[in-house]
Amino acid sequence: MKNKTVLITGANSGIGYITALEIAKLGAKIVMVCRNKDKAETARQEIINKSNNTNISVKICNLSSQAAIKELAQEIKNEIPVIDVLVNNAGVMLSERQESIDGIEMTWAVNHLAYFLLTNLLIDSLKAAPSARIVNVASQVQQIGDIYWTDVNLRNGYSGLKAYSQSKLANIMFSNELARRLAGTNITSNALHPGAVATNFGNNSTGFIAWAFKWFAWSLRSPEKGAQTSLWLASSKDVEGKTGLYFNDKKSIKAKAIAYHAEALQRLWAMSEEMTGIKTLI
């Protein structure tokens, strides 16, 4: 990974942090996209100390804001013309329904639309690399997810699990459609399930979700274990050229059937374009 640039969202904690640390140890230039400046700087310094790699930078961005994502992407393009790996990792799970500054249900805004928008805005930097990879962190909760086409903002019948499972299914659908659209280019796109990981992920939740994280903590895997597939997809020669796949523990598995329906994938893409106000060039 020496001389390669890897951009990771949500890189100051959990599996994003471990992914950044381990790739830093391999000699890559790491760009950490984080929301909290103090936490990001603390994590950056830890990664430098543990990896002996000083080529670690931080970009602060609220990924629930489309204006902030567009500003971030422009800044990155100006400073970093070539990106070898983009790891879309940042995510939220919320017990209570919230809306982003753009009036979009928060889980959908952060977990899906941020992936979609940031990736499309950075696509030229990825195309500039000799061989680029897009790694999308999803979840097996996608198996109980649905895309609520007429109410993706879940104004009716909201639950944290419903919102989260919808967004994670969308991650895989986006990843697969992206792979189709990028076929024949230098860029691959794959999604993964990191496993049920013991991180601070449930800290933003209350009620049942918070209870589940607390009482089932004993069965959760460590962030180090959870990050293994992200790390592998970002750096291993084993997956060179492989695209449009969904992985669990470094093995390709099948997602829910809708994730392979061409009409549904194109419908989600068109909806995402409309919700982000961009016309993609892919």
Residue 66: pLDDT band with limits 50, 70, 90: very high
Q: Given this model, what pLDDT does residue 215 score?
A: 39
> Is the pLDDT confidence value at 230 over 60?
yes
Run of H or E residues at 34 = strand 29-34
CA dist., res. 62 & res. 227, Å (int): 23
Q: Is the residue at 281 inside a domain?
A: no
Determine, yes or no, domain membership for 282.
no
Domain containing 40 equals 5-276
* Residue found by looking up tokens 């962190």 in the block: 137
220-232 mean pLDDT: 72
The answer to whether residue 62 is domain-embedded is yes
Query: Can you tell me whether residue 112 is helix, strand or coil?
Result: helix
Residue 186 placed within a domain: yes
Q: Is residue 136 part of a domain?
A: yes
The CA distance from 95 to 98, in Å, is: 9
Whole-structure pTM value:
0.90
DSSP 113: I
Q: Is residue 220's pLDDT more than 70? A: no
Tokens of residue 119, six digits: 């990736």
The per-residue pLDDT for 211 is: 43
Task: Give the list of residues 6+ apart from residue 162 with CB closer than 8 angstroms, or none.
Answer: 154
User: Annotated catalytic residue: which of 148, 164, 246, 260?
Assistant: 164
Residue 25 pLDDT grade (very low, low, confident, very high; cuts 50, 70, 90): very high
Confidence of residue 196 (pLDDT cuts 50, 70, 90): low
- Told to judge if 164 belongs to the known catalytic residues of this protein, a careful annotator would answer yes
pLDDT over 90 (residue 246): yes
CATH number of 233's domain:
3.40.50.720
Contacts of 198 (CB under 8 A, 6+ apart): 217, 220, 221, 222, 223
How much of the chain exceeds pLDDT 90, in percent?
A: 86
H or E element, residue 7 = strand 5-9
For 70-93, what is the mean pLDDT? Answer: 97
DSSP notation for 46-109: HHHHHHT---EEEEE--TT-HHHHHHHHHHHHHH----SEEEE------SS--B-TTSSBHHHI
User: Domain total for the chain?
Assistant: 1
**What dihedral do alpha carbons 134, 139, 144, 148 form, nearest 10°?**
-40
